[in-house]
């Protein structure tokens, strides 16, 4: 074995780090990076689970509130709510009574006012026309069997002070 000489410097080439040591350090570094990447993924998954649990708890609370609100309703309110839910949205937005009036209307009739009564079961129309025949023709078109409505002229008169002698008529339309 050679002894070190402290008095004279040795400039000889040293032996390098072994390949096995470098390979071990590389594998250790790769394992640390893989572990850090998996921990990052786990943290992300935990955050998602917490958000879903919060959302689920909020939905559960909203369902409980709705249930308490339904239980606190009076029998009349429950009945009204059941009737509203039984109707489909098309009937609520545009009752078939209005659809029948729309189909029977002609451009020679001016509808001055339309009042729905009985949750869309009946309507009162105030109309203005140049000729009374148009009002009766409108009522006849509504009274066709397949229309599903019944109409009748309640009152008609000539509009006072109108130089064109316009006819004012009130028509009641009901579902059959």
Query: What DSSP element (H or E) covers 169?
Result: strand 167-175
Q: What is the DSSP letter of 143?
A: T
* DSSP-based three-state secondary structure for 103: helix
Dihedral, CA of residue 84, residue 90, residue 92 and residue 93, to nearest 10 = 150
Tens of pLDDT, residue by residue over 52-87, are 999 999 999 999 999 898 888 888 888 887 777 776
Q: 90 pLDDT band (50/70/90 cuts)? A: low
Instruction: Read off the pLDDT of each residue in 46-55 and give the average, rounded to a whole number.
Output: 96
Name the burial class of residue 122, with classes exposed (0-12), middle (13-18) and buried (19+) by CB atoms within 10 angstroms of its CB: middle
């Amino acid at each position: 074995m050679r002894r070190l000489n402290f008095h004279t410097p040795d400039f000889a080439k040293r032996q390098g780090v072994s390949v096995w040591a470098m390979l071990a350090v590389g594998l250790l570094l790769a394992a640390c990076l893989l572990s850090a990447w998996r921990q990052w993924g786990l943290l992300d998954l935990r955050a998602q689970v917490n958000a879903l649990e919060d959302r689920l708890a909020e939905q559960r609370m909203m369902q409980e509130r709705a249930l308490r609100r339904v239980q606190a309703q009076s029998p009349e309110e429950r009945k009204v709510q059941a009737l509203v839910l039984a109707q489909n949205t098309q009937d609520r937005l545009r009752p078939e009574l209005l659809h029948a009036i729309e189909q029977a209307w002609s451009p020679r009739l001016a509808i001055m006012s339309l009042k729905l009564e009985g949750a869309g079961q009946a309507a009162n129309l105030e109309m203005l026309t140049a000729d009374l025949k148009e009002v009766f023709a409108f009522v006849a078109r509504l009274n066709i069997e397949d229309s599903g409505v019944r109409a009748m002229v309640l009152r008609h008169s000539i509009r006072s002070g109108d130089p064109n002698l316009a006819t004012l008529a009130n028509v009641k339309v009901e579902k059959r």
